[in-house]
Amino acid sequence: PPELHDKVTIITGASSGIGAAIAARFAVAGSRVVLSARREEKLQQVAEEISRGGGEALVVPADVTRYAQVQKLVEKSLERFGRIDVLVNNAGHAVAKPLVESTVEEMDAQIDSNLRGVCYGCRAVLPHMIERRQGQIINIGSICSRNHYPDYAAYVAAKFGVLGFTRSVYEEVRRYGIRMNVLCPAAVNTAWR
Protein backbone atom coordinates (compact mmCIF):
# COMPACT_ATOMS: atom_id res chain seq x y z
CA PRO A 1 0.00 0.00 0.00
CA PRO A 2 1.31 3.48 -0.83
CA GLU A 3 0.59 4.74 2.68
CA LEU A 4 3.45 2.56 3.97
CA HIS A 5 6.06 3.98 1.59
CA ASP A 6 8.97 5.55 3.49
CA LYS A 7 7.37 4.82 6.86
CA VAL A 8 9.35 3.43 9.80
CA THR A 9 7.77 0.35 11.33
CA ILE A 10 8.77 -1.63 14.42
CA ILE A 11 7.61 -5.25 14.43
CA THR A 12 7.99 -7.42 17.52
CA GLY A 13 8.09 -11.18 17.23
CA ALA A 14 9.59 -10.63 13.78
CA SER A 15 11.90 -13.64 13.77
CA SER A 16 9.29 -16.05 12.37
CA GLY A 17 5.62 -16.66 11.59
CA ILE A 18 3.19 -13.76 11.45
CA GLY A 19 5.84 -11.21 12.46
CA ALA A 20 8.27 -12.20 9.72
CA ALA A 21 5.44 -12.17 7.16
CA ILE A 22 4.30 -8.71 8.27
CA ALA A 23 7.87 -7.42 8.07
CA ALA A 24 8.30 -8.77 4.54
CA ARG A 25 5.00 -7.27 3.34
CA PHE A 26 5.71 -3.88 4.91
CA ALA A 27 9.22 -3.83 3.42
CA VAL A 28 7.87 -4.63 -0.06
CA ALA A 29 5.46 -1.70 0.38
CA GLY A 30 8.45 0.60 1.05
CA SER A 31 8.47 0.74 4.83
CA ARG A 32 11.82 0.70 6.62
CA VAL A 33 11.38 -2.06 9.17
CA VAL A 34 12.85 -2.59 12.62
CA LEU A 35 12.86 -6.30 13.39
CA SER A 36 12.73 -7.35 17.01
CA ALA A 37 12.50 -10.66 18.87
CA ARG A 38 14.69 -12.64 21.24
CA ARG A 39 16.41 -14.77 18.58
CA GLU A 40 18.97 -12.55 16.86
CA GLU A 41 20.11 -15.21 14.41
CA LYS A 42 16.56 -15.68 13.12
CA LEU A 43 16.09 -11.90 12.91
CA GLN A 44 19.24 -11.63 10.80
CA GLN A 45 17.84 -14.21 8.39
CA VAL A 46 14.61 -12.23 8.01
CA ALA A 47 16.63 -9.02 7.53
CA GLU A 48 18.76 -10.66 4.82
CA GLU A 49 15.65 -11.75 2.93
CA ILE A 50 14.27 -8.22 3.13
CA SER A 51 17.59 -6.75 1.93
CA ARG A 52 17.69 -9.19 -1.00
CA GLY A 53 14.25 -7.90 -1.97
CA GLY A 54 15.48 -4.30 -1.95
CA GLY A 55 14.10 -3.37 1.47
CA GLU A 56 15.77 -1.85 4.51
CA ALA A 57 15.76 -3.63 7.88
CA LEU A 58 17.33 -2.88 11.24
CA VAL A 59 17.71 -5.77 13.70
CA VAL A 60 17.24 -4.94 17.39
CA PRO A 61 16.95 -8.04 19.59
CA ALA A 62 14.65 -7.53 22.58
CA ASP A 63 12.52 -9.46 25.02
CA VAL A 64 9.14 -7.69 25.13
CA THR A 65 8.61 -8.83 28.72
CA ARG A 66 11.52 -6.61 29.84
CA TYR A 67 10.59 -2.93 29.72
CA ALA A 68 14.20 -1.72 29.63
CA GLN A 69 14.77 -3.77 26.46
CA VAL A 70 11.60 -2.38 24.85
CA GLN A 71 12.74 1.16 25.66
CA LYS A 72 16.11 0.39 24.07
CA LEU A 73 14.30 -0.92 20.97
CA VAL A 74 12.48 2.39 20.61
CA GLU A 75 15.66 4.39 21.28
CA LYS A 76 17.70 2.48 18.69
CA SER A 77 14.91 2.87 16.13
CA LEU A 78 14.86 6.62 16.70
CA GLU A 79 18.67 6.85 16.56
CA ARG A 80 18.70 5.11 13.19
CA PHE A 81 15.61 6.54 11.50
CA GLY A 82 14.66 9.66 13.46
CA ARG A 83 11.02 8.66 13.83
CA ILE A 84 8.62 5.75 14.33
CA ASP A 85 5.43 5.74 12.29
CA VAL A 86 4.03 2.29 13.02
CA LEU A 87 4.37 -0.22 15.84
CA VAL A 88 3.19 -3.79 15.32
CA ASN A 89 3.01 -5.57 18.69
CA ASN A 90 3.09 -9.15 17.49
CA ALA A 91 5.29 -11.11 19.93
CA GLY A 92 3.56 -13.83 21.90
CA HIS A 93 3.09 -17.54 22.44
CA ALA A 94 0.60 -20.08 23.79
CA VAL A 95 0.63 -23.35 25.69
CA ALA A 96 -2.31 -25.67 25.04
CA LYS A 97 -3.02 -27.35 28.36
CA PRO A 98 -5.87 -27.55 30.89
CA LEU A 99 -5.48 -24.92 33.59
CA VAL A 100 -5.01 -27.47 36.38
CA GLU A 101 -2.12 -29.03 34.45
CA SER A 102 -0.46 -25.68 33.69
CA THR A 103 2.43 -24.47 35.78
CA VAL A 104 2.41 -20.99 37.22
CA GLU A 105 5.48 -20.28 35.07
CA GLU A 106 3.59 -21.27 31.90
CA MET A 107 0.67 -19.02 32.83
CA ASP A 108 2.95 -16.09 33.66
CA ALA A 109 4.92 -16.49 30.44
CA GLN A 110 1.78 -16.37 28.30
CA ILE A 111 0.39 -13.32 30.07
CA ASP A 112 3.79 -11.63 29.97
CA SER A 113 4.49 -12.16 26.26
CA ASN A 114 0.95 -11.67 24.95
CA LEU A 115 -0.30 -8.84 27.18
CA ARG A 116 2.53 -7.26 29.15
CA GLY A 117 4.62 -7.04 25.94
CA VAL A 118 1.82 -5.11 24.20
CA CYS A 119 1.48 -2.76 27.18
CA TYR A 120 5.24 -2.16 27.26
CA GLY A 121 5.48 -1.54 23.51
CA CYS A 122 2.69 1.03 23.58
CA ARG A 123 4.07 2.74 26.69
CA ALA A 124 7.54 3.03 25.17
CA VAL A 125 6.52 4.37 21.74
CA LEU A 126 3.57 6.62 22.59
CA PRO A 127 5.51 9.63 23.96
CA HIS A 128 7.25 9.91 20.58
CA MET A 129 3.99 9.52 18.65
CA ILE A 130 2.19 12.01 20.88
CA GLU A 131 4.98 14.54 20.37
CA ARG A 132 4.67 14.12 16.58
CA ARG A 133 0.87 13.99 16.81
CA GLN A 134 0.70 10.97 14.55
CA GLY A 135 1.29 7.25 14.50
CA GLN A 136 -0.31 3.85 14.08
CA ILE A 137 -0.23 0.97 16.55
CA ILE A 138 -1.38 -2.49 15.48
CA ASN A 139 -1.71 -4.95 18.34
CA ILE A 140 -1.98 -8.57 17.30
CA GLY A 141 -4.84 -10.13 19.19
CA SER A 142 -6.51 -13.38 18.27
CA ILE A 143 -9.88 -14.94 17.72
CA CYS A 144 -9.27 -15.63 21.42
CA SER A 145 -9.68 -11.89 22.03
CA ARG A 146 -13.43 -12.43 21.54
CA ASN A 147 -14.03 -16.17 22.09
CA HIS A 148 -13.08 -18.58 24.84
CA TYR A 149 -11.53 -22.00 24.30
CA PRO A 150 -10.70 -24.85 26.67
CA ASP A 151 -7.01 -25.56 27.30
CA TYR A 152 -6.02 -21.95 26.53
CA ALA A 153 -7.18 -20.06 29.62
CA ALA A 154 -4.08 -17.92 30.18
CA TYR A 155 -3.68 -17.19 26.48
CA VAL A 156 -7.37 -16.27 26.14
CA ALA A 157 -7.11 -14.02 29.20
CA ALA A 158 -4.09 -12.24 27.72
CA LYS A 159 -5.71 -11.79 24.31
CA PHE A 160 -8.97 -10.52 25.86
CA GLY A 161 -6.72 -8.08 27.72
CA VAL A 162 -5.08 -6.90 24.49
CA LEU A 163 -8.48 -5.92 23.11
CA GLY A 164 -9.53 -4.03 26.24
CA PHE A 165 -6.14 -2.38 26.65
CA THR A 166 -6.10 -1.19 23.04
CA ARG A 167 -9.61 0.26 23.22
CA SER A 168 -8.80 2.09 26.46
CA VAL A 169 -5.50 3.55 25.29
CA TYR A 170 -7.04 4.60 21.96
CA GLU A 171 -9.49 6.79 23.89
CA GLU A 172 -6.47 8.49 25.49
CA VAL A 173 -4.46 9.09 22.31
CA ARG A 174 -6.87 9.59 19.43
CA ARG A 175 -6.89 13.35 20.02
CA TYR A 176 -3.22 13.31 18.95
CA GLY A 177 -4.03 11.72 15.59
CA ILE A 178 -2.79 8.30 16.69
CA ARG A 179 -4.66 5.26 15.42
CA MET A 180 -4.80 1.94 17.27
CA ASN A 181 -6.21 -1.35 16.04
CA VAL A 182 -6.32 -4.98 17.13
CA LEU A 183 -5.93 -7.61 14.43
CA CYS A 184 -7.64 -10.85 15.51
CA PRO A 185 -6.58 -13.79 13.31
CA ALA A 186 -7.93 -17.29 13.79
CA ALA A 187 -5.61 -20.31 13.78
CA VAL A 188 -2.40 -19.74 11.84
CA ASN A 189 0.08 -22.45 10.84
CA THR A 190 3.10 -21.05 12.66
CA ALA A 191 5.39 -21.85 15.58
CA TRP A 192 4.46 -20.16 18.87
CA ARG A 193 7.88 -20.12 20.49
What CA–CA distance (Å, rounded) separates 105 from 126? 30
pTM check: above 0.75: yes
What pLDDT, on the 0 to 100 scale, is given for residue 3?
85
H-run or E-run covering 87: strand 86-89
For 31-76, give the DSSP string.
Answer: -EEEEE-S-HHHHHHHHHHHHHTT--EEE----TT-HHHHHHHHHH
Can you give the pLDDT of all 193 residues of the chain as single tens digits?
A: 678 899 999 999 999 999 999 999 999 999 999 999 999 999 999 999 999 999 999 999 999 999 999 999 999 999 999 999 999 999 999 999 999 999 999 999 999 999 999 999 999 999 999 999 999 999 999 887 788 889 999 999 999 999 999 999 999 999 999 999 999 878 665 554 5
What pLDDT, on the 0 to 100 scale, is given for residue 142?
80
Active site residues: 155
What CA–CA distance (Å, rounded) separates 139 from 185? 11
